[in-house]
Amino acid sequence: MARVALKHTANIDGDFFVDTTCIDCDACRQIAPAVFHDVGDQSAVFHQPASASELLQAQKALISCPTASIGSVRKHDMRGAVTSYPELIEGDVYRCGFTAENSFGAFSYLIQHPNGNAMVDSPRFAGPLVKRIDDMGGIRRLLLTHQDDVADHEKFHQRFGCERVLHRDDVRART
């Protein structure tokens, strides 16, 4: 959970903030570009959410932050943000959100297919996300594009029994 005591000085005053534990993964800036911006080697809030859409984007960024570096002064009902993932991007491709610190905030994707869904890279193994993926048909294959983006692949493999695909040069003890 983000700590007000570590609030980055570049944040604009208001409810949402980024603290100094940010690893500059860029997830918040991609999810809520109207709220977060780059301040060198970290992110900060440059605009407090002013509409329902901006608020939802900020909440989605908060739950997707791999280091829990985004916080808010007041309590929010996060159910809308939590249930928005996997989020449809286009066609049958969904962004999973819930990025993981051990994959440096890399995004992961779920691709729905009649012959079985595929996940590209691994998000955090978060209960609400796992339930939604299960409701969407589970995971048949998990494509791991790089050894640094494996996150909770083992938990997804155990839960869904999915085949994992990784280049042989990227195979390590944790993969």
Q: Which domains does the chain have, with CATH numbers?
A: 4-75 (3.30.70.20), 82-170 (3.60.15.10)
96-154 tens-digit pLDDT? 999 998 888 889 999 999 999 999 999 999 999 999 999 999 999 999 987 766 678 89
Res 98: pLDDT: 96
Alpha-helical runs (H) found in 20-160 = 27-31, 52-64, 79-82, 127-135, 153-160
Phi, then psi, of 111 in degrees rounded to 5: -115, 115
pTM over 0.85: yes
Q: Is the pLDDT of residue 92 over 60?
A: yes
What's the distance, CA 92 to chain centroid?
A: 18
Q: Is the pLDDT of residue 52 over 70?
A: yes
| 3-state SS, residue 56 | helix
Q: Is the pLDDT of residue 173 over 70?
A: no
- 5 C-beta neighbours (distance < 10 Å), count: 7
Read off the pLDDT band of 157 (50, 70, 90).
Answer: very high
Q: Is the pLDDT of residue 29 over 60?
A: yes
Q: Work out the mean pLDDT of the chain and round it to a whole number.
A: 93
Res 149: pLDDT: 61
Res 12: pLDDT: 98
